[in-house]
Amino acid sequence: MGELRLPLGDYRETVHLCRLCGNCRQAGTTYLPCCPAGERFGFDEYYSRGKAIIAGQLLKGSLAWSRSLAEVVYRCAVCGACVEQCPVSYKDYILDVFAALREECVERSLVPREVGDFLENVYKYGNPWAEPRQKRGLWAEGTGIGEYERGEDFLYYVGCMGSFDTRGIEMARALGEVLLASGLSFGILGSGETCEGNEVKLLGERGLFEILAGENIRRFTGLGVKRVVTLSPHAYNAMKNEYPAYGGNFEVKHYTQLLVEMVVDGRIDLSKGVEARVTYHDSCFLGRYNQEYEAPRKILRSIPGVELVEMERNRENSFCCGGGGGNFYTDFFGSEPNSPARIRVREALDTGADILAVACPVCLTMLDDAAKAEGTEGGMRVMDISEILASLVLPERGSS
């Protein structure tokens, strides 16, 4: 056996920068809770403050690693709300400390079973559900969306949720069809696609992330891809912010950033409109991680008849659906009334919205399930922006 790599050691000095102030419990301005893990489980360790304390004690040797500790470490959506609220220099290290804690859990074979399964499945099958690779492009059947060919403007990267999750597939098709209707030149990778690795890195498997990033970069480069449009903000984050370090310098856009341009220049015609009160839920990986708050809102505001209303917690102070950091798969937050997604759905209901709009397949699945658990059938609907647009621009879908 080789020596253990102990990534937490790099933060020996910096963990003490945490002021133990607890500002990471609440979102500024409204002072409503901001941490999904803290909301769900309550004990101080679930907040960033607590994780700084345990990291410090682990480094001092006065606390022992254990499976139960690893469980707490993984019951975090890595949503970045704590980073947003932290008033001191420790904010620059919070996510690195979380990553180091998780990397150590991996090194020490302490990861919860669900995390182990996720990582192993991605390693073997390129997706967390152990679905055969050949099935990856099946979602596109009958849509007319073709495989990417050299010279096309965009590679449409769909990701694991869009390829295999029921709601994700509906979203992937909706976006694909809207893009087709707009006349954009694009293609997909189909069965040649593999996981982009965003969650793999967040779960602490840096080595596997590097393999996935390398594989994707080689494939994209081999096909002559210059521009990528992603369905998921998670993939957008990895490709935009992580891939350049591995030589992957593509122009990456989240689909809302591309669509907003097309709405503005008239390639997408929304004049059909829809009478609806809509509230928008910010995805953490589009919003807090990449400061894109405006594109999705601008699209929604461009739809005649739409009244856009904000939830109390929005933009950088938004409250995560609880799906980040692989929780859409591991389901550590469950479906109890105090699970983050259900809390968020209730907040959306408070606005009186007809539609809770999202721009992420993870948020879509998490919030759609939560809405069912909250019994919203016949009332507020959870829809991705791509689905709303599809209902406006595709004649066969109609406005529903």
CA neighbor of 77 nearest in space, from 370, 369, 340, 360: 340
Q: Which of 27, 81, 212, 321 is the binder for ligand SF4 (CB under 6 A)?
A: 81
311 binds, among another protein, ligand SF4, none (CB under 5 to 8 A by kind): none
Determine, following the binding rule CB under 6 A, whether residue 97 of this chain makes contact with ligand SF4. Answer: no
Query: Can you tell me the distance from the alpha carbon of 212 to that of 220, in angstroms, rounded to the nearest whole number?
Result: 12
Determine, following the binding rule CB under 6 A, whether residue 33 of this chain makes contact with ligand SF4. Answer: no
CA neighbor of 75 nearest in space, from 274, 324, 385: 324
Decide whether 79 or 212 has the Cβ nearer to ligand SF4: 79
Question: In whole angstroms, how close is the CB of 81 to ligand SF4 at the nearest point?
Answer: 4
Instruction: With beta carbons less than 8 A apart as the criterion, state whether 178 and 385 touch.
Output: no
- Spatial neighbors of 161 by CB under 8 A, at least 6 apart, are 168, 231, 232, 328, 361, 362, 365
Decide whether 16 or 346 has the Cβ nearer to ligand SF4: 16
CA neighbor of 144 nearest in space, from 168, 170, 173: 173
Q: Name the token pair of 77.
A: 């959506």
Decide whether 90 or 209 has the Cβ nearer to another protein: 90
41 binds, among ligand SF4, another protein, none (CB under 5 to 8 A by kind): another protein
Determine, following the binding rule CB under 6 A, whether residue 21 of this chain makes contact with ligand SF4. Answer: yes
CA separation, residue 85 to residues 88, 94, 189 (Å)? 9, 11, 39
Question: In whole angstroms, how close is the CB of 231 to ligand SF4 at the nearest point?
Answer: 23
The DSSP output letter for 147 is B
Q: Which of 77, 158, 239, 390 is the binder for ligand SF4 (CB under 6 A)?
A: 77
Q: Which of 8, 15, 18, 179 is the binder for ligand SF4 (CB under 6 A)?
A: 18
Q: Within positions 157 to 196, which residues make up the interface with ligand SF4, using CB under 6 A? A: none
What φ, ψ does residue 357 adopt, rounded to 5°? -95, 140
Determine, following the binding rule CB under 6 A, whether residue 115 of this chain makes contact with ligand SF4. Answer: no
Q: Which of 7, 56, 80, 137 is the binder for ligand SF4 (CB under 6 A)?
A: 80
Decide whether 49 or 201 has the Cβ nearer to another protein: 49
Residues of this chain that bind another protein (CB under 8 A): 12-13, 15-26, 28-32, 41-45, 49-50, 53-54, 56-57, 63-64, 66, 68-69, 72, 87-90
Instruction: With beta carbons less than 8 A apart as the criterion, state whether 52 and 18 touch.
Output: yes
Decide whether 86 or 203 has the Cβ nearer to ligand SF4: 86
Question: In whole angstroms, how close is the CB of 39 to ligand SF4 at the nearest point?
Answer: 9
Determine, following the binding rule CB under 6 A, whether residue 20 of this chain makes contact with ligand SF4. Answer: yes
Question: In whole angstroms, how close is the CB of 82 to another protein at the nearest point?
Answer: 11
Q: Which of 48, 194, 257, 365 is the binder for ligand SF4 (CB under 6 A)?
A: 48
- As a whole number of Å, the end-to-end CA separation of the chain is 60
Query: Can you tell me the distance from the alpha carbon of 217 to that of 222, in angstroms, rounded to the nearest whole number?
Result: 8
How many residues make contact with ligand SF4 (CB under 6 A)? 29
Determine, following the binding rule CB under 6 A, whether residue 19 of this chain makes contact with ligand SF4. Answer: yes
Task: State the residue for tokens 């405006």.
Answer: 294
Task: State the residue for tokens 């139960």.
Answer: 68
Instruction: With beta carbons less than 8 A apart as the criterion, state whether 279 and 250 touch.
Output: no
- CA 213 to the chain's CA centroid: 17
Determine, following the binding rule CB under 6 A, whether residue 15 of this chain makes contact with ligand SF4. Answer: no
Question: In whole angstroms, how close is the CB of 93 to another protein at the nearest point?
Answer: 11
The stretch near ligand SF4 (CB under 6 A) out of 78-86, 123-131, 169-177, 302-310 is 78-86
The stretch near ligand SF4 (CB under 6 A) out of 28-36, 177-185, 361-369, 391-399 is 28-36
Determine, following the binding rule CB under 6 A, whether residue 366 of this chain makes contact with ligand SF4. Answer: no
78 binds, among ligand SF4, another protein, none (CB under 5 to 8 A by kind): ligand SF4
Q: Which helix (H) or strand (E) holds 187?
A: strand 186-187
Query: Can you tell me the distance from the alpha carbon of 164 to that of 374, in angstroms, rounded to the nearest whole number?
Result: 25
Q: Within positions 300 to 359, which residues make up the interface with ligand SF4, using CB under 6 A? A: 320
Instruction: With beta carbons less than 8 A apart as the criterion, state whether 364 and 382 touch.
Output: yes
Sequence-distant contacts of 325-329: CB under 8 A, at least 24 apart = 325/74, 325/76, 325/77, 325/78, 325/79, 325/199, 325/202, 325/203, 326/115, 326/118, 326/128, 326/199, 326/202, 326/203, 327/77, 328/161, 328/362, 328/365, 328/366, 329/114, 329/118, 329/128, 329/129, 329/199
Q: Which residues bind ligand SF4 (CB under 6 A)?
A: 18-24, 34-38, 47-49, 52, 76-82, 85-86, 88, 90, 94, 320
